[in-house]
Amino acid sequence: MAASVPKTMKAVDIRNGKGDTSALFINDQTSVPTPTGSQALVKIRCFGLNRMDLLQREGNYPVPTGAPSTLGVEFSGTIASFSDSPSVEHDWKVGDEVFGLAYGGAYAEYIAVSTHMLIHKPKELSWEVCAGIPETWITATQALFLIGGFEKGQTVLWHAGASSVSIAGIQLAKEEGAAAIYVTASSKEKIDFCKELGATEGFNYKESDWSKELLKATDGRGVDVIVDFVGAAYFNQNLDAVARDGRIVNLGFLGGAVVKDDVDIGRFLRKRCRFEGSSLRSRDEGYQGKLRDQLVEHALPRFKDGRFHVPVEKVFKMSEIKDAHELMESNKTKGKLICTVE
């Protein structure tokens, strides 16, 4: 039997559709979504913050067609109801504790989300930890394996090593037998944190040319897979740092999208390397569902027994969303920021 569901709910909204953190507010007259197709309605306990949320708030992130305008793509909570469609997965019932990935709408009390993107919440994990898994770990899995083609015995470089995706990626690469795992970060504290997770070595990009330091560490060979969120500012250095037959996976443009300096693209031929951009949120449900299944099969048992860890930097209340966004903008975090829904 479906739980009693109100017609309106509290959700984070943005005055005038975009702006800085001061534009965020709690709209207590937001309509509760109605599940359709393969969707369930989930009463949210916690949701995770991601850098795309900052970009969307500023009006700089293209929301997928049909996605709700409310921010947020990862959450944990309890199933409240279902649509009447036969496309709903049958491994669910009202009251099930779940976490999952959505195209948007997680900064709220309720969310309508495909049952194909839900995961049963293990009793070993908290609501806060579960809300910090879906987007970051699925993105890291996609980047490392599907796009990066990583294989046991290869080497990996994760830029923004203390970011949530790289934190997941370091652990994935270690568990899957990487020969060495390197990171870039803005401080020794963050590099030491990455080493605790399994990184071999890290390079402070504020103090030296990280690509030269990496080549020294690898005796000039470079690394097989580079996962990059920086874009234009690292384009030239990535081509120096990638090994022959290596892959550069670009997931973002924190350092700009336009390469302004002269770049020797002959390295693509000499190194037989590949540069490929990718995203997760714009992928269709079938693609995302396969990654969900991979997460459930390979990563979830390791979360349960403690081999995989989700560092949570700080937990906020939904009413403190401005503070949460400001902390993420500071680039001083070493883990997930989570909000609880009061």
**Are residue 261 and residue 294 in the same domain, yes or no?**
no
Residue 18 C-alpha from the chain's centroid:
22
pLDDT on residue 321:
98
pLDDT at 2 over 60: no
**Are residue 56 and residue 95 in the same domain, yes or no?**
yes
**Are residue 66 and residue 152 in the same domain, yes or no?**
no
**Are residue 142 and residue 273 in the same domain, yes or no?**
yes
Percent of the chain with pLDDT over 70: 99
Contact between 114 and 301 under an 8 Å Cβ cutoff? The reply is no
- What confidence tens digit (pLDDT) does each residue in 276-311 have? 999 888 888 888 988 999 899 889 999 999 999 999
Residue 290 C-alpha from the chain's centroid:
16
pLDDT at 89 over 80: no
Question: Given pLDDT bands bounded at 50, 70 and 90, which one contains residue 261?
Answer: confident
pLDDT on residue 295:
92
3-state secondary structure of 114: strand
Q: Is position 2 within any domain? A: no
**Are residue 318 and residue 263 in the same domain, yes or no?**
no
CATH number assigned to the domain comprising residue 206: 3.40.50.720
Q: What mean pLDDT do residues 223-240 have?
A: 97
Q: Is position 147 within any domain? A: yes
Q: Is position 19 within any domain? A: yes
Tokens of 159: 């830029």
Q: Is position 80 within any domain? A: yes
Tokens of 111: 């969310």
Range of the domain at 165: 137-277
Distances (CA, A) of 1 to 4, 93, 117, 133: 9, 9, 22, 29
Q: Is position 332 within any domain? A: yes
- What confidence tens digit (pLDDT) does each residue in 52-72 have? 999 999 999 888 888 999 999
For the chain, how many structural domains are there in total? 2
Q: Is position 1 within any domain? A: no
Q: Is position 273 within any domain? A: yes
pLDDT on residue 90:
72
pLDDT on residue 184:
98
- What confidence tens digit (pLDDT) does each residue in 167-187 have? 999 999 999 999 999 999 999
pLDDT at 24 over 60: yes
CATH number assigned to the domain comprising residue 76: 3.90.180.10
